[in-house]
A = this chain, B = another copy of it.
Amino acid sequence: MTETAYDVIAIGNAIVDIIGRCDDAFLAANEAPKGHMRLVDADTSASLYAKMGPAVEISGGSAANTMVGLASFGGRAAFIGKIATDEFGRIFQHDIKAAGVAFDTPPAAGGPPTSRSLILVTPDGERTMNTFLGISTHLDHGEVGEDLVSRSAIVYLEGYLFDRPEAKAAFRQAVSIAKSSGRRVALTLSDGFCVNRHRDEFLGLIRSGVDILFANESEITALYQATTFDEAARKTAEDIKLAALTRSSKGSVILADGQSISIPVEPVAKLVDTTGAGDLYAAGFLFGLSKGYPLDIAGRLGSLAAAEIISHIGARPEVRLEQLGRAKGLIK
């Protein structure tokens, strides 16, 4: 195998988050399913924005957040995703490149605007996402550079891409290139509702082409239509060699070759906003894997990154994760 240029290349939706606070009644009144991501059209996005409180704009996108986290740990990260030639596109491009992630997908010249997610954070810190996919759906397989993917040790894919046929083609193309180049494929299931929309396809992919799976409790139980986490974990272990299952305040469980390793959460002084918790867990775990660290250390790096991200608004780290990892003695 040739040398790798990147530890991980991710393919995902290129999104700017618009994050504001609300109460549970606002979610209910606007039919936003608490703790989940729902897709909305341009009109719904505009009318919800008009109703929601003051907000801040921070670059987001699940897999993009993970790559920024990986780079913040000191990993070599690249991202493929579609932006438009507009202000939000410039913000997304600036932030991911300034974070040290390679990002060269050409912006679209016309078409819908850059994707945005209206994220409503309730007083308990839980985030509820209302995503207008915009130009993100225009990512096609031509955008997945064979050279880029084949030179990355791991290709990381977000399940959200399955919500649009064009992006799904890009997704499959990336898996095919990775496999033929002897690289590993990682998948995050993204959201329980998203799993329900694409269960069979996800299962097929996991059984045939995925080497590393990330999921939270609601996603993995949705995938296996299991009634308990333990049942879902048992089925996961039968299907895949390596999985990291996150359980919010209960920590995470790593399943690998018949082993089950429990990872504690990293305590936080105050839970502010859960946006990006899973994305940053994946960043820490992937960084640990890329360094060849033991799985429990990789998991603890995931917990550490998740703890940083939920202690402030937004899904991009506010401090250098490498420094946090060194301070904890997890990175030597």
Contact = CB atoms under 8 A, between A and B. Distances in A.
Interface string A46-85: 0001101111111100000000100000000000000000
Interface stretch (A25-33, A225-233, A313-321): A313-321
A98 interface: yes
Nearest to A89: B87
Between A57, A313, A318, the greatest number of chain B beta carbons within 10 A of the residue's beta carbon is seen for A57
Interface string A86-129: 11100100111011000000000000000000000000000000
A58 B91 CA distance: 12
A152 B49 CA distance: 29
Nearest to A96: B54
Between A20, A49, A58, A87, the greatest number of chain B beta carbons within 10 A of the residue's beta carbon is seen for A87
Contact of A68 (B54, B86, B312, B314): B54
A98 B54 contact: yes
Contacts of A96: 54
A162 B318 CA distance: 35
Interface string A294-332: 000000000000000000111010100000000000000
Contacts of A94: 49-50, 54-55
Nearest to A90: B49
B56 A57 contact: yes
A56 B53 contact: no
A99 B54 contact: yes
B87 A55 contact: no
Between A50, A53, A56, A88, the greatest number of chain B beta carbons within 10 A of the residue's beta carbon is seen for A56
Interface string A9-24: 0000000000011000
Contacts of A53: 98-99
Given A50-B94, A312-B312, A313-B318, A56 B56 contact: yes
Contacts of A49: 94
Nearest to A20: B98
A122 to B, nearest CB: 14
Contacts of A56: 56-58, 314, 316
Nearest to A320: B21
A54 B316 contact: yes
A50 B97 CA distance: 9
Contacts of A318: 21, 313
Between A21, A50, A54, A318, the greatest number of chain B beta carbons within 10 A of the residue's beta carbon is seen for A54
A68 B173 CA distance: 49
A59 B54 CA distance: 9
Contacts of A88: 87
Interface of A: 20-21, 49-50, 52-59, 68, 86-88, 91, 94-96, 98-99, 312-314, 316, 318
5 closest A-B pairs (Cβ-Cβ)?
A57-B57, A87-B87, A54-B95, A56-B58, A54-B98
